Amino acid sequence: MDLGMDELEIKQVKAKKMMLWVGMISMAMTFAGLTSAYVVSSTRADWLSQFDLPVAFAISTILILLSSITFYLAKQSLSKKNIEQTKLLILSTFILAVLFIYFQFKGFGEIIGQGYYFTGAESSITTSFLYVLVLLHLAHLFSGLIVLSIVFYRLQKGYYSGSNTLGFELAHLFWHFLDVLWIYLYLFVLLYR
């Protein structure tokens, strides 16, 4: 079967989008499993039902929401072929992501300040789950930072100046997925006691 170039490109685009969706669905299932385990574990006698989430996690939630907005605006800017503004907005997204990470670790400091550690005699199943959820999300966010760096590099090199914006679109989708995932995790832990 001989496919024309346009038809082959369409198939490749669909395949790349499908691979991203499969990856995001598998990540979502991982976190669904962890939050299910959180629910089951919350029936334990040693569960901390009065544990307060660190304020730094609320600040990081605001930052990740802002990063979603800046990436959305970057996509709008790219569609108008305003490359300089797109670069500035991607850089802003990156900076907001770094600030998000900073406040995540600041939140860990607040938890430790309350006397709860990841493991050991001073640990709690509640805070151990929190550490796992946040650290696993951070691992995925680091991959998002790599993606943002690639997008910025490609913007610098003029890669997205034509109609080839698939990489940008996939990065945009992945970034919003990471944002929604954090908001889900934050609200879940905040509201489920």
| Domain containing residue 54: CATH number | 1.20.120.80
Average pLDDT, the chain: 92
- Judge contact between 118 and 127, C-beta under 8 A: yes
Q: Which residue has the tokens 């550490």?
A: 131
Q: Would you tell me how many other CB atoms lie within 10 Å of the CB of residue 56?
A: 18
139 compared with 126, residue with greater pLDDT? 139
Share of the chain above pLDDT 90, in %: 71
Of the candidates 132, 113, 107, 109, the one whose C-alpha atom is nearest the C-alpha of residue 54 is 107
How far apart, in whole angstroms, are the C-alpha atoms of residue 173 and residue 37?
A: 28
How far apart, in whole angstroms, are the C-alpha atoms of residue 93 and residue 68?
A: 7
How far apart, in whole angstroms, are the C-alpha atoms of residue 122 and residue 107?
A: 17
Q: How many domains does the chain have?
A: 1
Identify the domain containing residue 21 by its residue range. 5-191
Name the pTM for this structure.
Answer: 0.90
- Quote the pLDDT of residue 114: 86
Residue 161 above 80 pLDDT? no
- Quote the pLDDT of residue 122: 75
Residue 3 above 70 pLDDT? no
C-alpha 176, offset from chain centre:
7
32 compared with 8, residue with greater pLDDT? 32
